[in-house]
């Protein structure tokens, strides 16, 4: 058999031989091998045992069995423990070479897949760990399979020690019973559980705003419970306490089909609720951005990619402190600087992904605060140096923001918002995009009805029928508003921050 192996494989691979299973074990323990051929008919201890041991303990070594006779029972056992191939003696040299090449190719693909999955898991864990609230997931048996740094801190355990534990080991008996009851409800019917809970953790009673939701396996069966628990012990009087933790922030990433990636995306959208002003705003501005792109000649696939990526433009605000995001008064120069960091932070979170969607989202996150005249941030790009998707998102984002309530000001009337957009034409915004927005103002205002917009394609929403209808919006009033607000608008940056004492 050694001669056959040498003839078939010697010109292609470096081959070493062992006289028995014991020597083979010593060789495997001393150095790495890409593949082992196990002759289960050789004298002494059965080589099938060695193959099974290797397959279970060393995922970087492929196992191929060589047998005297074609026995279904042996083939079935080899398949069950993960052998990469199976040949019957005496094998043809070409057959042995093909089996070896196939086994090594399969091993190469599996190793690459493991490394890619690990990189994705590490990226996802990094994003989740940045969240300012506990995030976790439990399997059907109630054991924790995911937790972020805040969850470990809350449970009073070292980083990573929460995994594998149950509520009984970190909560009081009553708290664990209450948690198990809500978990069973989510697992049973896929419902969303929301409640304020008083739990004893580490011997201390705390009040939480808890949201639990179902997680699905690859067959779309519920197999785990995801949860986000915000400690509101000292904030029970706060009316705006993250009421929309599970509201959809984005049209989501349709490229990510596997349920595990979908689970991570749900958690990422929940983290983005850190900025409570974004809620329905990101859905509206994404629809407006998609319409503008359609009018500019984007093909349908590129429009949908922009529509899915635009809601992630402010993902970098995950690193912006609550006191700045929710501040009702003007920001100081230092606070403005911290706020402006969200563009680069969002880019760093999203960049370097192989996903086309996340790549576009990274570009938008970095450039949606650049200004057409070059006075924006973070890079001070000028005109068409700013990617087109970033210019489109900037117009859609600011226009919808002007018409939306903020913690620091109420929504502006349509006429005043239009005047501000006109004043920013060519300075803050690409003038062509502003012209499209204002030429189709009726249609854009209809698109802001997010619930309705999500139920029908862009082409089915009402479009303006005549210039006279456009005039009905009150162009005279708009022009007057422009005269009154133009000087004020020049003092505002694209994120609504002003150098003076007031903010939009």
Does residue 162 contact residue 152 with C-beta atoms inside 8 Å? yes
Using CA atoms of 344, 265, 392, 436 in order, give the dihedral in degrees to the nearest 10: -160
Residue 317: active-site member: yes
Specify which residues 147 forms β-bridges with. 136
Residue at token pair 């951005």: 289
- Spatial distance between the Cα atoms of 453 and 366, rounded to a whole number of angstroms: 27
Angle at 378 between CA 373 and CA 381, to 5 degrees: 35
- Spatial distance between the Cα atoms of 66 and 76, rounded to a whole number of angstroms: 14
What CA–CA distances, in Å, run from 317 to 103, 210, 228? 47, 22, 18
Angle at 347 between CA 122 and CA 282, to 5 degrees: 105
For residue 378, say if its preceding peptide bond is cis, omega within 30 degrees of 0: yes
Q: How many other β-carbons are positioned within 10 Å of the β-carbon of residue 189?
A: 9
Of 459, 461, 464, nearest to 437 by C-alpha is: 464
Specify which residues 225 forms β-bridges with. 138, 214
Half-sphere exposure of 367 (CA within 13 A, CB side): 26
Does residue 346 contact residue 366 with C-beta atoms inside 8 Å? yes
What phi and psi, each to the nearest 5 degrees, are found at residue 62? -85, 145
Tokens representing 428 are: 């803050």
- Options 138, 209, 317, 327, the catalytic residue: 317
Using CA atoms of 30, 32, 38, 43 in order, give the dihedral in degrees to the nearest 10: -10
Q: Rounded to 5, what percent of the chain is helix, strand, coil?
A: 50, 10, 35
Q: How many other β-carbons are positioned within 10 Å of the β-carbon of residue 128?
A: 22
- Spatial distance between the Cα atoms of 484 and 407, rounded to a whole number of angstroms: 24
Helix (H) / strand (E) element for 161: namely: none
Of 76, 496, 455, nearest to 325 by C-alpha is: 496
Of 488, 332, 470, nearest to 414 by C-alpha is: 470
Specify which residues 146 forms β-bridges with. 137
Show which residues are catalytic: 317
């Amino acid at each position: 058999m050694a001669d056959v192996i040498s003839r078939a494989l010697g010109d292609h691979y470096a081959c070493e031989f062992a006289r028995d299973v014991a020597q083979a074990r010593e060789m495997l323990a001393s150095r790495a091998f890409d593949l082992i051929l196990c002759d289960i008919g050789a004298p002494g201890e059965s080589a099938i045992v060695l193959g099974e041991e290797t397959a279970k303990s060393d995922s970087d070594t492929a196992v191929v069995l060589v047998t005297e006779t074609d026995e279904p029972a042996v083939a079935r056992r080899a398949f069950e423990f993960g052998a990469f191939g199976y040949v019957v003696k005496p094998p043809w040299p070409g057959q042995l070479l093909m089996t070896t090449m196939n086994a090594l190719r399969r091993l190469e693909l599996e190793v690459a897949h493991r490394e890619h999955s690990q990189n994705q898991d590490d990226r996802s864990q990094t994003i989740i760990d940045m969240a300012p609230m506990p995030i976790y997931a439990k399997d059907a048996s109630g054991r924790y399979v995911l937790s972020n740094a805040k969850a470990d801190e809350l449970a009073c355990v070292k980083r990573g020690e929460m995994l594998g534990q149950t509520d009984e080991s970190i909560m009081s008996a009553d708290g664990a019973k209450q948690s198990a009851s809500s978990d069973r409800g989510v697992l049973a019917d896929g419902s969303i559980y929301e409640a304020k809970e008083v739990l004893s953790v580490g011997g201390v009673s705390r009040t939480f705003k808890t949201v639990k939701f179902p997680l699905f396996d690859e067959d779309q069966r519920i197999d785990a419970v995801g949860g986000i628990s915000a400690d509101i012990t000292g904030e029970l009087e706060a009316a705006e306490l993250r009421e929309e933790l599970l509201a959809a922030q984005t049209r989501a990433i349709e490229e990510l089909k596997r349920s595990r990636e979908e689970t991570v995306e749900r958690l990422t959208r929940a983290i983005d609720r850190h900025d409570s002003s974004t809620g329905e705003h990101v859905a509206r501005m994404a629809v407006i951005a998609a319409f503008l792109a359609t009018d500019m000649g984007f093909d349908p696939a590129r429009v949908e990619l922009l529509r899915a990526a635009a809601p992630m433009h402010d993902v970098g605000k995950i690193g912006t402190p609550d006191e700045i995001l929710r501040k009702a008064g003007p920001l100081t120069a230092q606070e403005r600087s911290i706020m402006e960091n969200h563009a680069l932070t969002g880019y760093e979170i999203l960049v370097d992904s192989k996903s086309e969607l996340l790549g576009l989202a990274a570009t938008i996150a970095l450039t949606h605060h650049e200004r057409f005249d070059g006075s924006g941030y973070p890079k001070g790009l000028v005109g068409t140096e700013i990617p087109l998707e970033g210019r489109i998102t900037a117009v859609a984002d600011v226009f919808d923001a002007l018409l939306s309530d903020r913690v620091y000001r109420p929504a502006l009337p349509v006429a005043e918002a239009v005047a501000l957009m006109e004043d920013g034409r060519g300075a803050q915004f690409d003038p062509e995009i502003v012209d499209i927005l204002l030429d189709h103002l009726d249609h854009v205002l209809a698109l802001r009805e997010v619930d309705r917009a999500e139920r029908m394609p862009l082409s089915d929403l009402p479009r303006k029928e005549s210039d006279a209808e456009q005039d009905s919006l009150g162009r005279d009033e708009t022009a007057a508003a422009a005269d009154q607000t133009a000087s004020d608008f020049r003092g505002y940056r694209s994120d609504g921050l002003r150098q003076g004492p007031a903010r939009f």
